[in-house]
Amino acid sequence: MSAISGSFPPGKGQLLFAKSKVYIHVTSSKKDNVVGYLTIIKPYQGSPNLDLVVAYIPESDLEKEDKETLDYFDLYGLDGENTNFYGSGTQGSNSTKEGLSSSNLPQVKKFITRPKMSSLSSYAFGLTIANLFSIQVRAKTSSLWYGSVVLHPKDTLEKVPALFFHDDECPGTIREQKLKSESFSPFADNFNGGLYWGGDRFISCLRNYCVLEYSPLEKNMVLVNPTKEDSLNFIPNVVDSKDPLENATQSVDQLVTKAKWKVLTGLATITTFAKKQIGHVAENNRLPEPIKKMLQKPEVKLIGDEFDSANVYLARWALAVQHEAEKSRKLIIGNNYYHQLISSELGDNFGSLTPVELSKATRMKPISKIEWDNLFDSTGRLQVTVEEVKDRVFHGGLEDPVRKEAWLFLLGVFSWDTSSQEREQLAQSLENNYEEYNQNWRTDMERQQNDEFWKDQKVRIHKDIRRTDRELDIFKPTSAESDEEDDETFGNPHLLILRDILFSYNELNYNLGYVQGMSDLLSPLYYTIRDQSLTFWAFVNFMEPMERNFVKDLSGMKLQMLTLNELVQFMIPDLYVHLEKCDSNSLFFFFRMLLVWFKRELSFADTMRLWEVLWTNYYSSQFVIFFALAILEKNSKIIINTLNQFDQILKFMNDLSGHLELDDLLIRAELLFLKFRQMVELVDRRNANTGANALQESSQLAISKELRQLLSKDPVIHKEEPRTTDTPFG
């Protein structure tokens, strides 16, 4: 581009802009501040504008010669010791946003050592203009002593710290301020009418090399070389309005959903470095108007009510926005949505899923009573295959009136090949069997009075029943309910039934006994089946695979957590790396979720839907782990971009309660399972092909026992050890 001939010294780049005394506020303590130069550098002769580098160079990285060059440039710019800076028309109001013509080419050529693009030992960084997505500009105001800019790279995984312009120390800015006060014309670029500060010069200079657009949606956000799509998405169509910003705030919902998600996550992207400043913004109530408006919406407010740190707050905000954005996209793109979503989320590998598999990856309508009844012939025998029913339940779930009967099949109380008459008979004998267990504990007065373990169990069961799903109508407290925990007057007769079932289970599975969480597993069964002995047997069968969640040494839970851990490494490695950094790769925020199958995180209705899907063992008896994986996959960008510490991640995950979208997650879980299966097959095939010779190499790719187990539909059974008399309680 350069019209002026002249060679680049080896290893050097040409300075186009330099500002001294630009700081990184590493901590809130002044002594930790890093001081350096913000520069724009042309790395090679003839570099196109897109290759120009915006570089931050700490003073401590600089040789004396380069430092002198930078100081000169800071003070005088491209024009040398003339009054004009950088040749940009600072005196005229005709300066346009489109950038400048070639008549304003550099007049003074200065070179410094080509800056580092990144550094492990210092805070130096560089970004090409091509890699710049947006710039967050926080101008100096009367309350913000130092203005700052945050550069957002296109690659959202890259993060760079906020840069603070210490104008009072910067000779170049001081000179400019002096010049400005001598001239009557206001600086064209300082259009906000605010105080003149160092960042104004940076933006106006950068504008010589790229297109910068301020967004009316986020007035502090400058988009760099926005594509048509970016502009359309980010800059709403407000042709008729005189004040775009005001209009924007009126239709904030619409705008937020229109806004490109990337931009919004960019906004929420904060680094340890910038955290402090973001906190500042939040505290000073300086959030952009549309965001403030959105935060006032009751549902968003509910989410945002109790934030503790800027990161968690922003992560939630990002989540709320994502939620909104996705909802609307779903409407627009319809059936293609999931395809597009997953191919963008999971990369090109997704393309290799077969169309048949893909077509299954949509949710169907739940099975209605009519549809269910039609599955059976006149004698009440199933007239389709079990696999067909399970397929249907897995992909659609059941309508409420179907559940009672269907759950008894799914949980194996009734076998699929029985007639209705056989089932009636079976129910009768099951009732008799149940009564035996029920009478067992009732009549054993000796134990009731003297067995410490038993007494302990009793107190625990009574306590937990009093706090299980009491918001549901059938479990609502009645006036007769006593406050006392071991009192048998529950008032509500349904509680008494839950109690009896748990006591009876305690008889049947003496080794395991009652463990906290079991009442959560029982409640939906009783709510649906509403028959004491049938509920009991459904519960007994449900507990078969769930027993491993409750064994005393927690080994069953630990194994599942480990499996999930390996699965995340296998499927979402970049997230895993981040979690590891945050000390969170134990993933134990999933403990509760896996223990009681998301009962605490989902609504009661959604819990029932999830469970019936899981009970089919359609793909895997451990599909619940893929559901957990889907939650991570869905939130991985937010986690990587905004959460840096263990407790932040724990809180974020805990706070997902009540905000999980079941159907969306089920679809993701299914596609993740299919992708997983495909990857395992791929690895197996490769291992088989490489043969025994390459065993060592291929062993790196071997699929662990835990991961392979995920492909099995057979439930994992892990029983509690026999209880001895000296087994401690609990």
Partner 1 sequence: MSTRKKTILKVIILGDSGVGKTSLMQQFINGKFSQQYKATIGADFLPKDLVIDDKQVTMQIWDTAGQERFQSLGVAFYRGSDCCVLVYDVTNTKSFENLQSWRDEFLIQANIKDPDNFPFVVIGNKIDVEENKRLVSSKKAQTVCASLGNLPYFETSAKEAVNVEQAFDVVARNALQQEESLEFSDDYTDAVNIHVDGDAYGSCGC
Residues sharing a CB contact under 8 Å with residue 570, sequence separation 6 or more, in sequence order: 676, 679, 707
CB of 162 to partner 1, least distance (A): 12
The C-alpha atoms of residue 708 and residue 1 are separated, in whole angstroms, by 58
Tokens linked to 68: 């002198």
Cβ closest to partner 1, residue 325 vs residue 650: 650
CB of 25 to partner 1, least distance (A): 9
DSSP code at position 468: S
Q: Where are the alpha helices (DSSP H) in 509-622?
A: 518-529, 532-550, 555-571, 573-581, 591-595, 604-615
SS3 599: coil
Burial profile 504-536: b = 16 or more Cβ within 10 angstroms, e = fewer: bbbbbbeebbbbebbbbbbbbbbbbbebbbbbb
The C-alpha atoms of residue 557 and residue 593 are separated, in whole angstroms, by 11
User: At 352, phi and psi to the nearest 5?
Assistant: -85, 0
CB of 81 to partner 1, least distance (A): 26
Cβ closest to partner 1, residue 404 vs residue 552: 552
Cβ closest to partner 1, residue 251 vs residue 586: 586
Cβ closest to partner 1, residue 436 vs residue 484: 484
CB of 355 to partner 1, least distance (A): 41
Residue in the structure block whose two tokens are 């090399």: 209
Residues sharing a CB contact under 8 Å with residue 315, sequence separation 6 or more, in sequence order: 268, 638, 639, 642, 643, 648, 652
Cβ closest to partner 1, residue 144 vs residue 674: 144
Q: Residues 646, 583: contact at Cβ < 8 Å?
A: yes
CB of 16 to partner 1, least distance (A): 24
CB of 255 to partner 1, least distance (A): 28
The C-alpha atoms of residue 652 and residue 660 are separated, in whole angstroms, by 12
Amino acid at 555: S
CB of 636 to partner 1, least distance (A): 18
What are the CA-CA distances from residue 716 to residues 277, 391, 616 (Å)?
Answer: 50, 21, 14
Cβ closest to partner 1, residue 180 vs residue 276: 276
What number of other Cβ atoms are within 10 A of residue 497's Cβ? 20
Q: Residues 717, 547: contact at Cβ < 8 Å?
A: yes
Cβ closest to partner 1, residue 26 vs residue 496: 26
CB of 40 to partner 1, least distance (A): 23
Positive or negative torsion for Cα 694, 698, 703, 705: positive
What are the CA-CA distances from residue 413 to residues 66, 241, 424, 614 (Å)?
Answer: 81, 66, 12, 16
When computed from its CA atoms, the radius of gyration of the chain, rounded to whole angstroms, is: 33
Amino acid at 12: K
DSSP code at position 330: H
Cβ closest to partner 1, residue 295 vs residue 582: 582
Cβ closest to partner 1, residue 397 vs residue 513: 513
The C-alpha atoms of residue 515 and residue 553 are separated, in whole angstroms, by 12
Cβ closest to partner 1, residue 257 vs residue 468: 468
The full 3-state SS of 487-511, as one line of letters, equals CCCCCCHHHHHHHHHHHHHHHHCCC
CB of 101 to partner 1, least distance (A): 40
CB of 476 to partner 1, least distance (A): 10
CB of 272 to partner 1, least distance (A): 5
CB of 463 to partner 1, least distance (A): 4
Tokens linked to 198: 């160092």
Cβ closest to partner 1, residue 87 vs residue 147: 147
Question: Which stretches of the chain bind partner 1, using CB under 8 A?
Answer: 26-28, 32, 34, 58-60, 62, 120-123, 272, 275-277, 279-280, 282-283, 306-310, 459-460, 463-464, 467-468, 470-471, 477, 483-485, 515-517, 519-520, 552-554, 581-582, 586, 588-589, 591-592, 595-596, 600, 644-647, 650-651, 654, 728-730
Cβ closest to partner 1, residue 209 vs residue 597: 597
Cβ closest to partner 1, residue 249 vs residue 457: 457
CB of 61 to partner 1, least distance (A): 8
Amino acid at 643: L
Residues sharing a CB contact under 8 Å with residue 362, sequence separation 6 or more, in sequence order: 335, 338, 395, 667
DSSP character string of 163-190: EEE-GGG-HHHHHHHHHHHHSSSPPTT-
Cβ closest to partner 1, residue 409 vs residue 589: 589
CB of 648 to partner 1, least distance (A): 10
What number of other Cβ atoms are within 10 A of residue 434's Cβ? 21
Amino acid at 155: D
